[in-house]
Amino acid sequence: MEEAQVAAAAAAEIAMAQAMAQAMAQAEAEAEADALAAVALAEVEEEHMVIKRRTAAAAEEEQAASASPAAAAASFDVGRHPIEDAALRTANAMHFAFPVRDVDEARRFYGQVLGCPEGRSAETWVDFNFWGHQLVCHKVAGYDARATENPVDGDPVPVPHFGGEDSGPGSRLGSRVKGSGFRV
């Protein structure tokens, strides 16, 4: 009987040691998961701070640029808060290059009518900040957008083309375009 009791006690000790080892392994796994979660949270918080800094810097730049009467006349006045506008400008931007027949005409439309800030340029091209996206107008001798029209729902649509929505509260972009004399 004594042998049976010793064996039972040994089995109980082994079972207890296995349970303790399992509990320790689970605690270590939970601690490691907590540490990984803390690192991920810190990375997200850092990214959030970077976005906030970029947004604040862009808002300050926008405010400084809009302080002059010339900049105010060319601004994109849609009633958007400067911080919202800055956040849009710091979003992932696209680059779109397309042909134009006249670089100065493109400057008048994108710069003066739409109010897009002009970036770099040369004699045969100019780029604009199109609400955070880069538009590049390349002069192509003899280019005529009407020669590349494609019928869409019965209307002649030039190819290439792109568009945007002008439906925000207080939006005046549509009326600025319509009053510009450009065919759109």
pLDDT digits (tens, 9 = 90+) for 108-124: 999 998 888 898 899 99
Q: Are 37 and 113 within one domain?
A: no
The Cα–Cα gap between 156 and 150 comes to 6
Interacting residues of 4 by C-beta distance below 8 A, sequence separation 6+: none
Q: Are 103 and 174 within one domain?
A: yes
Provide the CATH number for the domain around residue 164. Answer: 3.10.180.10
What's the predicted TM-score (pTM) here?
A: 0.48
pLDDT digits (tens, 9 = 90+) for 16-45: 878 787 878 887 878 787 777 777 677 767
Count of domains observed in the chain: 2
The Cα–Cα gap between 88 and 93 comes to 9
The Cα–Cα gap between 111 and 91 comes to 21
Does residue 84 fall inside a structural domain?
A: no
Does residue 73 fall inside a structural domain?
A: no
Structural domain containing residue 43: 1-65
Q: What radius of gyration do the chain's Cα atoms show?
A: 31
